[in-house]
């Protein structure tokens, strides 16, 4: 039986391909379980710094497998949410490489990632309301933080798709590519990130994510608690030494 999640790795990057092309990579419990395990592996392994999620055969993810839903099966993992990801993204960096459609839960998977690369003919959307459902896997709470209020409201209430070009214009998509090139550009973006200090990368993400609800009064104190270990790390000294010696740094993540 072909795995519903194909995993390959190299140069510090874990590539995860949703592999249910017969269902447009719709999420079922089996795939969610595999993706949750992959997130745990990404965070646990010192040799992996970043993950990329994409979909097989030109589609990112069409959302929840509605046929499985009718049978009482939900593609959600306790503590991790839809797809084993949306409620508890990994500590390390995650990039979505989107071709075709990222709809409903598929869009919410992309929103749970730190960066999004999309083909210029890709489409996003939250069509849950068309099925009498709501986008509770992050769409309703994350989208208003990424798009203007009224644009997010239109997306959630009409269930209509909007193009990757429009998403890029609003800053929701980091890189817009030719069709078929989203993964290639996502890998290039990932390589640029992995070239940097591992502690610096993960801490930068942590500060950006957690500081959303920090008060102005204590934000620098809270940031200092997270960033002081980075400045006192061996990697910080290595980065400075490599600059002075005009060579590439050799990171240890310590």
pLDDT of residue 55: 98
CB–CB of 103/161 below 8 Å? yes
Mark whether 22 is an active-site residue: no
Instruction: Please give the model's pTM, rounded to 2 decimal places.
Output: 0.95
CB–CB of 164/98 below 8 Å? yes
pLDDT higher than 60, residue 137 = yes
Name the active-site residue from 108, 154, 210, 221. 108
pLDDT of residue 101: 98
- Report residue 164 CA to chain centroid gap: 16
pLDDT of residue 200: 97
Per residue in 14-23, pLDDT tens?
999 999 999 9
Mark whether 245 is an active-site residue: no
Name the active-site residue from 41, 128, 154, 245. 128
Per residue in 22-53, pLDDT tens?
999 999 999 999 999 999 999 999 999 999 99
Assigned CATH topology for domain 5-194: 2-enoyl-CoA Hydratase; Chain A, domain 1 (3.90.226)
Average pLDDT, the chain: 96
Residues in the chain: 254
CB atoms within 10 A of CB 161: 17
């Amino acid at each position: 039986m072909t795995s519903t999640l194909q995993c390959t790795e190299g140069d510090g990057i874990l590539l995860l391909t949703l592999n249910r092309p017969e269902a447009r990579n719709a999420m079922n419990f089996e795939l969610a379980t595999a993706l949750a395990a992959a997130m745990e592996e990404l965070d646990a392994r010192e040799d992996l710094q970043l993950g990329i999620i994409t979909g097989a055969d030109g589609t990112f993810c069409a959302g929840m497998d509605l046929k499985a839903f009718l049978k009482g099966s939900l593609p959600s993992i306790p503590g991790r949410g839809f797809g084993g990801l949306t409620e508890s993204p990994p500590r390390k960096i995650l990039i979505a490489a989107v071709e075709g459609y990222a709809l409903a839960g598929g869009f919410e998977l992309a929103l749970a990632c730190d960066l999004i690369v999309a083909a210029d003919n890709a489409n996003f959307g939250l069509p849950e309301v068309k099925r009498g459902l709501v986008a509770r896997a992050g769409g309703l709470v994350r989208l208003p933080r990424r798009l203007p209020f009224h644009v997010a409201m239109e997306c959630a209430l009409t269930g209509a798709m909007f193009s990757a070009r429009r998403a890029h214009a609003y800053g929701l998509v980091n890189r817009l590519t030719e069709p078929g090139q989203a993964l290639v550009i996502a890998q290039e973006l990932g390589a640029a990130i992995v070239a940097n200090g591992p502690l610096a990368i993960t801490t930068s993400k942590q500060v950006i994510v957690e500081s959303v609800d920090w008060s102005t009064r204590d934000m620098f104190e809270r940031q200092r608690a997270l960033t002081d270990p980075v400045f006192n790390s061996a990697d910080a000294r290595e980065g400075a030494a490599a600059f002075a010696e005009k060579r590439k740094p050799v990171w240890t993540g310590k």
